[in-house]
């Protein structure tokens, strides 16, 4: 992705090192804008629609905050599965072809993998994929990599462990693809049935990743520990979820075994994977990570709407 103007963001595979650099620098400018002025009128003549078919706190609110910070307007359907015309049987393409009449950019979260691609094909305005089922979550990967870049000053030559539900975790699928652009090593820590899908690591050199079963195997050597929630809503058999849900819990005793400057990340929401006693540890970056989401989404909106 070289020129952002008018482009949809469907997959992390669209980005290269140059486009990431551009997003990071623009996000830094947005941080300084918020710090010094609070808001601007950069997108004062633009409207963003958020169309969410699955629950969300951070993604929707940070997109909406981002648009508001840049002076734009927001129209919104949360709970779209129940409250929009989809409940009457409308196709996603028809919904998109309608919403594009009202908005200059559409942020879509949907329960089906591939839905963002379908939407982008139907739309004449940019679609920003805010999660397509167990597929991808590219804007989360942008804020995750921005967070690593800020916390560690680089994205190269790091050791990163991704822990938990790597099969259904869309944030992991997208972030892994971005890390593949840098010379970093990734440890995928999960039981076999929740391991990283092949389509995610296809382009990864096999020297650059290893699959592991336990956090203990890698805790002493990693620079970034990326914890994730077991994705309850994706399991057909709830008893299987019950068996897996408490498999990985990061606690203070484990934090004592890490490198002193290791960073703990989590896309949130957490449901027990990180003991809250760690929250005050300066290495716990997950709430800073959530804040970075707003800056990165401000950058992305300005870039796709041609205002940078
Ligand atoms: C994640 C998501 O929705 O994929 N959250 C987020 O967007 N910050 C992670 C999750 O739900 O576990």
pLDDT digits (tens, 9 = 90+) for 49-89: 999 999 999 999 999 999 999 999 999 987 878 777 877 78
Per-residue pLDDT of 34-49, as tens digits, reads 999 999 999 999 999 9
Would the CB of 139 count as within 6 Å of ligand 1? no
- Give the CB-side neighbour count of residue 275, counting CA atoms within 13 A: 11
Q: What is the pLDDT of residue 87?
A: 74
Would the CB of 60 count as within 6 Å of ligand 1? no
In this structure, are residues 211 and 188 in contact, taking their beta carbons and an 8 Å threshold?
A: yes
Q: Among this protein's residues, is 270 annotated catalytic?
A: no
What does the alpha-carbon distance between residue 114 and residue 210 come to, in Å, rounded to a whole number? 27
Q: Report the residue among 78, 268, 285, 297 best suited for mutation to probe ligand 1: largest number of ligand atoms under 8 A from its CB.
A: 268
Q: Among this protein's residues, is 137 annotated catalytic?
A: yes
pLDDT at 205 over 90: no
Q: Among this protein's residues, is 109 annotated catalytic?
A: yes
Q: Taking phi first (over 0 means left), then psi (-120 to 50 degrees means alpha), and beta for anything else, what does residue 238 get?
A: alpha
Stretch 91-115: mean pLDDT: 96
Confidence of residue 258 (pLDDT cuts 50, 70, 90): very high
Least confident of 71-85, 137-151, 238-252: 71-85
Atom of ligand 1 nearest to the CA of 55: 3
Burial (CB count within 10 angstroms: exposed 0-12, middle 13-18, buried 19+), residue 36: exposed
Q: Among this protein's residues, is 58 annotated catalytic?
A: yes
CA nearest to 208, candidates 56, 200, 216: 200
pLDDT at 204 over 90: no
pLDDT at 235 over 90: yes
Q: Among this protein's residues, is 59 annotated catalytic?
A: yes
Q: Which of 26, 59, 171, 228 is catalytic?
A: 59
Q: What is the pLDDT of residue 206?
A: 87
Q: What is the pLDDT of residue 80?
A: 78
Would the CB of 170 count as within 6 Å of ligand 1? yes
Q: Which of 46, 69, 137, 245 is catalytic?
A: 137
Would the CB of 185 count as within 6 Å of ligand 1? no
What does the alpha-carbon distance between residue 137 and residue 145 come to, in Å, rounded to a whole number? 13
pLDDT at 2 over 90: no
45 CA distance to ligand 1 centroid (A)? 30
In this structure, are residues 265 and 305 in contact, taking their beta carbons and an 8 Å threshold?
A: no
Per-residue pLDDT of 266-295, as tens digits, reads 999 999 999 999 999 999 999 999 999 999
Would the CB of 268 count as within 6 Å of ligand 1? yes
Atom of ligand 1 nearest to the CA of 59: 7
Determine if the peptide bond prior to 63 is cis (ω within 30°): no
Q: What is the pLDDT of residue 81?
A: 80
In this structure, are residues 214 and 161 in contact, taking their beta carbons and an 8 Å threshold?
A: no
pTM above 0.85? yes
Please give the C-alpha separations between residue 22 and each of 1, 19, 197, 233, in angstroms, as whole numbers. 11, 5, 29, 35
Confidence of residue 6 (pLDDT cuts 50, 70, 90): very high
CA nearest to 62, candidates 53, 154, 52: 52
**Angle, helices 138-152/286-304, rounded to nearest 10 degrees:** 120
Would the CB of 19 count as within 6 Å of ligand 1? no
What's the full length of the chain, in residues? 308
Stretch 251-279: mean pLDDT: 97
CA nearest to 138, candidates 112, 110, 103, 174: 174
Write down the mean pLDDT value for the chain: 96
Q: Which of 60, 69, 109, 245 is catalytic?
A: 109
């Amino acid at each position: 992705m070289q020129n952002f103007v008018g482009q949809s963001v469907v997959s992390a595979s669209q980005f290269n090192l140059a486009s990431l650099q551009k997003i990071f620098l623009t996000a830094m400018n947005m941080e300084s804008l918020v710090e010094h002025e609070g808001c601007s009128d950069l997108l004062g003549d633009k409207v963003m629609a958020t169309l969410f078919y699955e629950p969300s706190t951070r993604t929707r609110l940070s997109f909406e905050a981002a648009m508001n910070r840049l002076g734009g307007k927001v129209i919104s359907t949360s709970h779209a599965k129940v409250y929009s015309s989809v409940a009457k049987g409308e196709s996603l393409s028809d919904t998109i072809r309608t919403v594009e009449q009202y908005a200059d950019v559409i942020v879509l979260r949907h329960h089906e993998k591939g839905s963002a691609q379908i939407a982008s094909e139907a739309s004449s305005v940019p679609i920003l994929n805010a999660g397509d089922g167990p597929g991808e979550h590219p804007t989360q990967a942008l804020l995750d990599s921005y967070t690593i870049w800020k916390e560690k000053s680089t994205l190269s030559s790091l050791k990163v462990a991704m822990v938990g539900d790597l099969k259904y975790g869309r944030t992991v699928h997208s972030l892994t693809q971005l890390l593949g652009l840098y010379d970093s090593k990734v440890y995928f820590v999960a039981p076999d049935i929740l391991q990283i899908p092949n389509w995610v690591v296809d382009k990864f050199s096999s020297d650059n990743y290893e699959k592991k079963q336990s956090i203990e195997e890698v805790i002493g050597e990693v620079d970034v520990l990326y914890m994730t929630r077991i994705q309850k809503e994706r399991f057909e058999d709830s008893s299987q979820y019950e068996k897996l849900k408490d498999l990985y819990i990061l606690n203070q005793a484990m934090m004592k075994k890490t490198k002193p400057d290791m960073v703990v990340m989590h896309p949130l929401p957490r449901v027990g994977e990180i003991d809250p006693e760690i929250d005050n540890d300066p290495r716990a970056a997950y709430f800073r990570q959530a804040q970075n989401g707003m800056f990165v989404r401000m950058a992305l909106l300005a870039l796709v709407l041609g205002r940078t």
